[in-house]
Structure 1
Amino acid sequence: MEFQLLSNLQLFFLYLNNLTGNLPSYLGNITSLISISVGGNNLVGNIPDTLGNLNNLEVIELGLNNLSGSFPSSFFNLSSLTDIDIPLNQLQGSLPDDIFISFPRLHKLNIGHNLLTGRIPSSVANASELMLLALNVNSFTGEVPSFEGMKKLDWLALNRNKLGNSRPDDLNFMSSLLNCTELRLLHLSENNFEGVLPRFIGNFSNLRRFTIGNNSIHGNIPDELGDIATLETLYLWSNDLTGTIPESIGKLQELRILSFPDNILYGEIPSSFGNLTMMTDLSLQQNNLQGTIPSVLGNCQSLLAMDISQNNFTGYLPEEIFRIPSLSEFLDLSSNSLTGSLPSGLTSLEHLVLLNLSNNELSGLLPGTFGSLISLRELYLSNNFFQGNISPSLSSLRSLEILDLSHNNFTGKIPQFLGKFSFLRNLNLSFNDFEGEVPIEGVFRNGSQVSVNNNPKLCGGEPFLLLPVCPKNESSKKSRTSHFLKLIISISASVSVLILVLLFAIVYYLKHKKKLISLDNTSKEFLPTISYQSLHKATNGFSETNLLGSGKFSNVYKGILDQNETVIAVKVLKLQVKGAGKSFVAECEALRSIRHRNLVKFLTSCSSVDFKGNEFKAVVYPHMVNGSLQDWLVHSDEKKLTLIQRLNISIDVACALDYLHNHSGNSLVHCDIKPSNVLLDGEFVAHVSDFGLARFIQQVNTSQNDTSLGIKGTVGYAAPEYGMGTEASTYGDIYSYGILLLELFTGKCPIDDAFDNGLTLHDFVKMAIPERVMEISDPTLVYGYDYQGEEAIDEIMEYCFISLFRIGISCSMELPRERMDISRAVNELYSIRNYLFKTRIKFGANGL
């Protein structure tokens, strides 16, 4: 209330906070106000009628709140307004016919993502100063008026409304846009537009983004599109376009995204596409395109994703496509009539995540170079004529999650290495000619994840496969006596070994009376070591300029080893702090027993004395060039992670925990999952670090007197039961992970000042979903999204946020037994990512 006493206040700026309640009506009494900016909060209710008193007001920004009702009539008295920015609310009603006469100075009108209805007022033609008009994601209807007088218009977003009358003249308004010589963005997708694309479209000389997907546009793609030299994104998906793709498209040297799927296009891919060297996404699926795939596509060395599936392409696979090193998201050539064998040169696709060649007529053996595709997570080769054994080179594809080799002519035994792929969750080998015994490890243990149907020569395996028992080997029948002798020898040898082990244990016990492990002996017996002098030199004397971070038990320094110029991170223990020594021992014990792509790699250790004779202990890891996740969450203004990056990080951390809890031999509890303990390498792959509090399950159960068990995490992330003295458990890690997941996608720290009076991050999110999920999500993902409102991207993101938050809530339930199993969390996260990949093929959401 004290604000209303500030009679000379001009700027009222409270953007991106956690404000709740109504927009205060007393703001209308501060007549000196020039700008009101309270976007990105949790405000509710109507826009106060008193704002009509602010005759000096120029800027009003109320976006990303939960405001409702209609615009008050007094609002249209503010003739001084230049910027109206109120997207992502629940405003209703229609716009008055004279709105653009009431605001003669208006530069920006952004009221997208609301519940507005009615027609676009024809007075828009008088908005001569308007530069941005965003009416997207509402329910505007009817004919689009002329924009003839809007010569300064730069951005026009009308997508996702009900505009148009499904008549051939629906696009007549586009001729009036020829006067808008500054127009850079034109979004018309997802309306009721019919008609043909006008040939004068080539005269939009400054246009960078043009989207008109999911309408009923028919006819040919005009050649004149190739005259828009500035065009960067072109979306024509889900229309009724016919004819061939113009050769002139190859003139668009700045084109990044080309999306023509789900039309009725025919003919060949123009050879001029080889000129589109800046293109990152090519989507031509679900058409009637034919001919061979042009080898000139190999010139498109910036491609991240390519989908030309569900067409009528024939001929061989051009090897040039498989030499595009930038391909990393997906390459989908499925459902065509491609023939021949796979190219041998696959070594360039080491970053590719998804490869789909299914439903073609490909044949031959799988080349040995398949092992180069080390990043593959999904591989689809079904319904072809591949033959021979599964290449041993596939054993390198340890990241595989989905492998479909069904409906081919593969022979030989099913490789045992498939059962050792810890991430494989869907394996289809059905309708082939495999023989012999089915493995019984890994994915082969789960009936819902593996299919080996219609391989009549298979036997054994788990009972749910319903395969016959494997016959006994004839040679073994003839050598039972030999086998019996070998068995006796084996037993005798085992007894001898057992006696030696017992003798060794007795000697060891006599030498080491204490149960605590000596760090010196641990490092000498199990770990490669490095000298203090080497680490001192590598870190420039442990200088502050090399300091990467500091914690309770340690400081971490960046270093460079002279012998091979390896960049390292050196974790130096603060031995003067109680518990630091035990923390170090715990970390060494944990790290020498585990190995996973999403765990920090243990390089070596040092247990020595420094130059002053003081005890010195350190652990050495690879240096992670992108620092910790904490760095990216705290410094979000300088460092911004995309939605896909955050989702991948959340999957990486979940996979690491799944491994620690369920697949590492002895279940290991990390005890301190938080953003600062998640490190990011150059590819933003996450690595869980800092195992100083880690405990093996059997250690937890048998170490009741170990006082270090009282240290189980960090405030805000530690499970609530730990505060009551409960032992460390995998449930505690899952709780911490749930909080980390919520923080990752809300951008809010669990110990934020906003969470007081008993409110927690868990409760904050739980109360908001599903209705207000977009409001609580990190504004850098929602409000600052460059492609906001384009091609249904908001619905995609809303679905993903709801799904992600539900996982986070389920993992961070107060009662341990109610928390989601981490294995299930991993599967659900993968499903969300698959949904994103599939929808972005259609919608072209490049900014994700």
Structure 2
Amino acid sequence: MGLNRFTGYIPVSLGNATRLTILDFCLNNFSGSMPMNLGGLKGLEQLSVETNQLVSENDEEFTFITSLMNCSDLQVLALDRNLFTGKLPNSIANLSTKLTELWLGENQFFGAIPSGIENLANLILLDLGHNLLTGTIPIYLMKLRRLQALYMVENKLSGQIPISLGNLTQLHHLDLSRNYLRGSIPSSLGYCRLLQYLHLNDNNLNGTIPENVLNIPTLLELDMSMNSLSGSLPLDICKSKSLIALTIFNNRLSGEIPNSLGTCVNLGVLYMQGNLFHGSIPPSLSALVALQVLDLSYNNLTGSIPRDLANLSFLRYLNLSFNNLEGEVIENGIFQNASAVSICGNNKLCGGISELQLPKCSKQDLKKQERPHSRKEIILVVVAVVLFLFLLLLCFFVIRSKKLREKISFTSFKKESFLRITYGELLRATNGFSLANLIGVGSYSSVYKGILSHMETIVAIKVLRLQQRRASKSFSVECMVLRSIRHRNIVRILTVCSSLDFSGNDFKALVLEYMPNGSLDSWLHSSTNGDERLQLKSLSFVQRLNVAIDIACALDYLHNHCEAPIIHCDLKPSNVLLDEDMVAHVGDFGLARILSKDFNYSQSQTNSLTIRGTIGYVAPEYGTGAITSTSGDVYSYGIVLLEMLTGKRPSDDMFENNLSLHQFAKMALPERVMEIIDHGLLSEEIEIIGHSENSDNIRSKMQEALISLVEIGVSCSHESPKKRMEMKDVVIEMQKVKGFYLRPIGLKDSVSRKRRNEQYSSSCLPEETRNTPEEDLPEEASNPLEEVPPEEARNAPEEILSKRHETLLKRLLPKRQVMLLKRHVTLLKRFLLKRQVTLMKMFLLKRHITLLQLW
């Protein structure tokens, strides 16, 4: 029931629903206190009420936690972003030992952190941030050896950072910022070799920055600003090549800025203002090609501004104010934009653009600026450049050799790698993420249409809204799934971007192939979607049949042909996209699950989510807490298939009083099926049938095909998972229906060139394992075509074409089938007479004969 606008109290009667396993009321407007009888739900595995207006039973102690001591299967408890108050009771120790996530942040809890937390040995995530907690950080947290994320930001904690935190070697996130912590930063944090985000800012810490903390290889963000740290930075500051943001402003750090900072090739944000740094600005900073923000203001820096800083194409903010810099300010690069550059408080600077209001440089200043470098300086620069290039070359060969050794599922992934792309490039590609480029909005993301300059192609850019707490998890899951799969009916990922925007905020996006024909939903319900481009269009029966087969092939591949089975968990028409040839591609894997025994932080986060999907498409067993399985996707497929046939959404107003789309279709079988079929479905086929000499027979065949499809949809959407078909069987049955409908009757399959010569045996395999259809055809199926010159086929009158066509068909099949073939040729002639002959290409004849050969 999350992500709605419910108000009022959470019903006490829920305590009687003893078989509940998942209870999710997040992102609503519930008020009042939590029902104390929820502790009677002994099978409860997840309780999520975050982001509401809930309050405590009393202001002294938060007793609701005590009421949950009998929920022995509880794994996720999310109470964050409410108005809960009181002390956290020590009875928290009696919570389930299976608990992996405890979210208590953004409330008004006060008092000390209870010692009972040490009993929750399986905790992976602990969020106590944004409260009023006091006292010290408990030493016993070291017992939580599986902890991967610890948030204590913005409390009133005091004392020192415990050395024992270094024992939490699985930590990925550690945020102790905005407290009253004092003392030095323990060097033991350097033992957390998986740490990615370390935030210790806004405290009273002193001493030096431990060198081994700076050397954590996985570190992405380091924030130690607003403290009293002193000493100089290590000469070899950038052993962590993955560092994206270094924030150390407003401390008492001194010494020269290390030249080695220029080797942090991924660094995008560098805040060093408000310290005591002296010496010149290292020229090596111009090697930070990804740098977007550089602030060195309020230090004691001297010398001139390195001219090569103008070559940093992604630099959007440069603050060098209030130092002792001198010499000429250049007029290119970022220095052309006065609003992006601040250099005030440097009285010896001159030149620059007029908006900077600097005095003109005298000849003496120019000579001083242009004086040749000493031999010693030149040697140092040359040596540094050579070493830097050598390191880059070494890294290139190491990475390349590692990639060659990796075992990859498909050969195409051995030959290609993702392009590196930056926030700035995506910003330009979408015209600043303008509304004109917005083509879709989801729960966790917005999708923009854009043109990447270096690829010169239109792409879809899916930008995650990271203010949604689960958006980052969705991004991780989608990357993990899409990087390991490749299939012609699955949306292809081109690259990803995980960086910072120009304000220093996290930014994550996926770049996907663009689907010009939009979503299946927009075609099925064009009259209600308001898309003017689709108002006069609808999908024919053959097109819907092909799309349904495409979706089935994609699911069959995910379930049965991947290294580990993948469950999509959110199949619906809006997640099925159509390319320029109307070939369907399944997309949006943000809720997908990989059925693997491997365990890590990102997967645990994903696995603990409620399988939300979309109401109407989610398998009913998920509502009772059933384990995610491939049969859930089969159910969703059955609903989508019935929606394609009837034109009705499962959430249609007519489906009430226990009537569902499944039951609606089931009751129509078999005699009344034609009554429930979408009226726009057969538009193109009916036009052809009307010109046929055997229209009654064709209509009968069409009705049989539709009955078979409805039966498949009803079978897939059966309430019992055990009675549903498997996707591999669905593909076979769908292909049989297509063969039954198309080939004996002779109706065309003219949806796209991609579909010509499809064969049942290879239709659902990955692209890399498919055989070229022409290679598998018998020789007699292709040789007759060589007798028809391409130029003659394009320009001959339709009578000559049809005679040659008939002659060729007679050569291929026995005489007893000539009558059926003549009917087929008659239909083809009428098809040709309705169109310009010049549109008749050789591939149409070839496809026609191939289909008959297979029949």
TM-score (norm 2): 0.48
TM-score (norm 1): 0.48
